[in-house]
């Protein structure tokens, strides 16, 4: 048995990918207690913005997998330079987009 406490899929994906899978509304298996899940599409932009910013994720306590024994060799420093520059590019783009986001979406911002 693997000694891991974290999703194996996080080795190839990011938190937004996990959220897209576990919140998939296509899964028809309903309990008898109604739970209104958040609309992943509406949150997608903020999610990617938060996750792309390592500092922000750390601030929010969302880096709980960093430093986990199963992932001790991973982390920010382990990212290849190309991945980092892609993330930086994407972050800059998202930040410039966020400045244009209408007020009603900003109200729902999870970054605040």
Q: Which of 9, 72, 76, 85 binds other proteins (CB under 8 A)?
A: 9
Residue pair 40/19 in contact (Cβ under 8 Å)? The answer is yes
Contact flag: residue 15 with other proteins (CB under 8 A): yes
Q: Which of 55, 62, 77, 79 binds other proteins (CB under 8 A)?
A: 62
8-state DSSP, 37: -
Q: Which of 78, 83, 97, 105 binds other proteins (CB under 8 A)?
A: 97
Residue pair 3/70 in contact (Cβ under 8 Å)? The answer is yes
Q: How far is CA 38 from CA 2, 12, 107, 111, in A?
A: 32, 24, 15, 16
**Rule CB under 8 A: which residues touch other proteins?**
1-2, 4-10, 12-13, 15, 17-38, 40-41, 43-48, 50, 60-62, 64-65, 89-90, 93-94, 97, 108, 110
């Amino acid at each position: 048995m693997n000694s891991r406490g974290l999703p194996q899929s996080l080795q190839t994906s990011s938190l937004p990918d996990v959220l897209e899978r576990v919140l998939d509304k296509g899964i028809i298996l309903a309990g008898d207690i109604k739970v209104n899940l958040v609309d992943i599409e509406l949150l997608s932009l903020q999610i990617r913005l938060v996750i792309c910013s390592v500092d922000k994720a750390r601030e929010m306590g969302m880096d709980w997998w960093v430093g986990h024994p199963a992932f001790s060799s991973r982390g920010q420093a382990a990212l290849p330079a190309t991945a980092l520059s892609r993330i930086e590019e994407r972050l800059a783009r998202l930040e410039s987009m966020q400045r244009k986001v209408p007020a009603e979406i900003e109200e729902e911002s999870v970054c605040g």
